[in-house]
Structure 1
């Protein structure tokens, strides 16, 4: 099994090579094994997908750091691929909390993770600029002590603040504070994505699978994107399949959904026979 340093080196290499790559988001060990078998080169956890799987909403208030990192550990142990994690807001406003979360993330075998500037407070959804930068700086300082790629997220567009100038201002500052990858989820179009990518000097992550427009890997690559994730959308697609099957049974009393289900043999083929 690949060790943490070699996984980190492989993950960094994906960001350094030409072109864009897709890092899909499993929500548990089983989905991680399936995505690994399909030939993806790295994985990233999804706090939303994990939250849905345990009946919670996606927020730092609903998910404990311990539960999120235990889920990440299960995914790390299910694959030989590099795994990065959605670390929410770092589980605390204080910059020291962000640093501690990065340290704990590295301890479970993760080779990357993201810290966002969303507060979780609807009345004041985004951390003030200065504190947001301090939080990234603290996380980056800790990340440099480990084989760990730090992603800094500017969350304006997910929280009713479609301010591209402020988003870029934050990403530029996060880059200067030491972030390895920059990420502004929810950008509205390819022009905005291109503007962000051309405004910074670090790799940019873009998420697909949110409501609204979708773009191909080639279109995003042409806009300057390096890394493409899918957030909780694979988990939501799986839940849509469950809902469709359940509604058929409940409303029609039929079971035709089974024609389209993955066979038990195929599902088993992706899984382990015994604990490693």
Structure 2
């Protein structure tokens, strides 16, 4: 990608975090889904590590080889004129130095942003110093490449916090979030944080852009905007909806032998239009 164009996309993505309006981020898993979301009028696109991994024959959780991530990301970036931010999990490296090298490779695909998470294999939390060092390494890699990517630091205390109370999780999350912002993160993603009052407390305590995960029952958009949510991402949900719809149609076809469940409201001609 032209460097000036990539820088413009990164700057555009960062500007969308001004909290004047909630940024809705659909998470694509391939070029087709990215092109579809682009056509719907979203302002930016994210990727889902789970959806991307499944589409390429792997489980989620840094099981997809880096080379495949880079190739898939390059196709997604090439399918849209919108800024693309990539779910990069823990950075796919054992050390901060390895994360920096991987981020440099990811930047070469044309991305405008990325996620880095502080959970390990969805089981335990990474030491906060290590997690902050990885974010600092990613920021340094971006600066060395001259691309001001938007770093979204995921805080996993509500996902892998064990039996800790919400108050303990909250206090830990704030400590982690402040360290990550100081290390170079632009936005904080407290994945799993669901209580509206606690979301509002979290945002007030940080006074920084916060990403919330979309889910059934999430507060209405105007309420999220009122409390200062910067962005809402869909994570794996759109991918699992797509797989769920395909599975339901296939089950019906397999069990009944009838083709009446194979009609689609958005069909071949519609998808072809997106690429012509």
TM-score, normalised to structure 2, is: 0.90
Question: Alignment RMSD, CA only?
Answer: 1.8
3-state SS, counterpart of residue 120 of structure 2: coil
- Matching of residue 200 in structure 1 with residue 233 in structure 2: no
| Residues 77, 111 of structure 2: 8 Å contact kept | yes
| Residues 172, 199 of structure 1: 8 Å contact kept | no
User: For 2:261, which of 254, 257, 262 is the aligned residue?
Assistant: 257
CA shift, 1:55, in A, is: 2.6
3-state SS, counterpart of residue 151 of structure 1: strand
CA shift, 1:179, in A, is: 0.7
Q: Once superposed, which parts of structure 1, at least 4 consecutive aligned residues long, lie more than 6 Å away?
A: none
1:139 is matched with: 138
- Matching of residue 269 in structure 1 with residue 268 in structure 2: no
3-state SS, counterpart of residue 104 of structure 2: helix
Can you give the 5+ residue segments of structure 2 that lack an aligned partner in the other structure? none
* Counterpart-to-counterpart distance in 2, 1:140 and 1:9: 15
Q: Deviations for 1:8-37, whole angstroms, at most 9, x for unmatched residues?
A: 121122112612110111110011111101
* Counterpart-to-counterpart distance in 2, 1:13 and 1:133: 24
1:101-250, aligned counterparts within 5 Å? 101-120=102-121, 122=123, 125-145=124-144, 146-161=147-162, 163-209=169-215, 213-250=217-254
| Residues 6, 111 of structure 2: 8 Å contact kept | yes
Q: Deviations for 1:82-122, whole angstroms, at most 9, x for unmatched residues?
A: 10101110112311122222211211100110111112273
Deviates more, 1:93-102 or 1:232-241: 93-102
TM-score, normalised to structure 1, is: 0.90
* Counterpart-to-counterpart distance in 1, 2:267 and 2:92: 40
Can you give the 5+ residue segments of structure 1 that lack an aligned partner in the other structure? none
Deviates more, 1:108-117 or 1:192-201: 192-201
3-state SS, counterpart of residue 157 of structure 1: coil
2:43 is matched with: 41
| Residues 98, 115 of structure 1: 8 Å contact kept | no
* Counterpart-to-counterpart distance in 2, 1:101 and 1:207: 25
* Counterpart-to-counterpart distance in 2, 1:201 and 1:105: 29
Q: Deviations for 1:17-67, whole angstroms, at most 9, x for unmatched residues?
A: 61211011111001111110111110011101111212321111x111221
Q: How many residues align?
A: 267
